[in-house]
Chains A and B, each alone.
Chain A
């Protein structure tokens, strides 16, 4: 499977990157991440140029990494500043450094040609760093290719079957969706508005709503990495007012960063930001625990799918139906991005 290069990907939460060395593999490229003494996040290739020893298994000395094998020492730009036993530092003694941007609680890295890295194109998830929202989050490694997680998230009708009793109710699978693709800006939008639905435990317990609800799910996928689910929950029949006021509804911004690690493994970053009960730690704990359970239900299912796909003969013919409209659009845009990245690399 090919990856879409010349793109930004989430490598970590900002809170994960500190004065300890963190190893992450993004699009097959091993990275070591750390934070300089002034607080700047750094991403370097996680292989010493000398004998490939993982720098993530080494140590920090100030802002430099000292290789744990022979002591080759690299600055935060990847330049070698010390080699053992000799004065001359070979001209080629350096490791690749990666453009890094910290935004919305994520550490984004650019995988591709460095001169094309434009921080302005990184999609936003502002709720994750907004004090008006309470956030629970986590990351689960998937033993499955990233396209399986994209398929999963673009078609939420699976909530009814895989996540019944948590976030799924019959109305999710039974409600038609509208799918939109903005070709110029590379955004896919899938909208499912349920006017009269059961309230699943996930929202009943967190919002306190008794009875049926009006539930809106609006997916906004910014391929390849950032997936947003704008979830609006309100007592049945309560809609935004003509002036836009929607204070009678509960809003959860469900954010995923889908980062391919290797061809068959993926980082599944997930977060739930809410604008209700923001100071209630018991609600945070409930949503953290429930959403983790839901994510793990997906992880188990997708890991199983990966073993199935890895073992099957070539040429399996999938069947796509109406619920797959958004997922198919995502596949097409990802394929185009992969092709564009490949073309850029060949130039």
Chain B
């Protein structure tokens, strides 16, 4: 396994034909063939949006919505 800071990975998901591309920026995309996936990975950062966990908004910014 490579340990550099700029490593692109494509995992062939076991039991399927699906490939999962993972960019070093954290962005992910799945595809059914590798050409499209390399095109997307190597175009970093174009179209790369790292999946961020959705956190609740701070208390002071919350708006009460009445039913």
Interface residues of A (CB under 8 A from B): 176-185, 187, 189, 191, 320-322, 324-325, 328-329, 332
Q: A191-B1, A322-B17, A325-B19 are in contact. Are A178 and B10 (CB under 8 A)?
A: yes
Q: How far is the CA of A187 from the CA of B19 in the complex (A)?
A: 20
Q: Which B residues are in CB contact (< 8 Å) with A332?
A: 38, 42
Q: Which A residues are in CB contact (< 8 Å) with B11?
A: 176, 178
- Kindly provide the distance from the CB of B44 to the nearest chain A CB, expressed in whole angstroms: 9
Contacting pair A320 B34 (CB below 8 A): yes
B36-55 CB contacts (< 8 Å) to partner A:
37-38, 41-42
Q: How far is the CA of A141 from the CA of B41 in the complex (A)?
A: 36
Total contacts A to B, CB within 8 angstroms?
A: 63
Q: Give the interface SS of chain B, mostly helix, strand, loop or mixed.
A: mixed
User: Which chain B residue lies CB-closest to A189?
Assistant: B2
CB within 8 A of B34: which of A178, A183, A189, A322? A322
Contacting pair B4 A185 (CB below 8 A): yes
User: Which chain B residue lies CB-closest to A329?
Assistant: B38
- Kindly provide the distance from the CB of B24 to the nearest chain A CB, expressed in whole angstroms: 8
Q: How far is the CA of A181 from the CA of B4 in the complex (A)?
A: 9
Q: How far is the CA of A177 from the CA of B9 in the complex (A)?
A: 11
Q: Which A residues are in CB contact (< 8 Å) with B10?
A: 178-180, 325
Contacting pair B34 A328 (CB below 8 A): yes
CB within 8 A of A182: which of B6, B33, B38? B6
- Kindly provide the distance from the CB of A3 to the nearest chain B CB, expressed in whole angstroms: 22
Interface residues of B (CB under 8 A from A): 1-2, 4-14, 17, 19, 33-35, 37-38, 41-42
Q: A177-B12, A329-B38, A332-B38 are in contact. Are A322 and B6 (CB under 8 A)?
A: no
Q: How far is the CA of A249 from the CA of B61 in the complex (A)?
A: 59
User: Which chain B residue lies CB-closest to A220?
Assistant: B2
- Kindly provide the distance from the CB of A221 to the nearest chain B CB, expressed in whole angstroms: 11
- Kindly provide the distance from the CB of A217 to the nearest chain B CB, expressed in whole angstroms: 14
CB within 8 A of A178: which of B4, B12, B42? B12
User: Which chain B residue lies CB-closest to A179?
Assistant: B10
**Selected A-B contacts with CB under 8 Å, 15 pairs:** A179-B9, A180-B2, A180-B7, A180-B10, A181-B2, A181-B7, A182-B6, A184-B4, A184-B5, A320-B34, A322-B19, A325-B37, A328-B34, A328-B38, A332-B42
Contacting pair B6 A325 (CB below 8 A): no
Q: Which A residues are in CB contact (< 8 Å) with B41?
A: 181
Contacting pair B33 A181 (CB below 8 A): no
- Kindly provide the distance from the CB of B51 to the nearest chain A CB, expressed in whole angstroms: 19
Contacting pair A322 B12 (CB below 8 A): yes
Q: Which A residues are in CB contact (< 8 Å) with B38?
A: 325, 328-329, 332
Q: Which A residues are in CB contact (< 8 Å) with B1?
A: 180, 189, 191
Contacting pair B8 A183 (CB below 8 A): yes
Contacting pair B2 A325 (CB below 8 A): no
Q: Which B residues are in CB contact (< 8 Å) with A182?
A: 2, 4, 6-7
Q: How far is the CA of A119 from the CA of B38 in the complex (A)?
A: 31
Q: Which B residues are in CB contact (< 8 Å) with A325?
A: 10, 12, 19, 34, 37-38
- Kindly provide the distance from the CB of A183 to the nearest chain B CB, expressed in whole angstroms: 5
- Kindly provide the distance from the CB of B26 to the nearest chain A CB, expressed in whole angstroms: 15
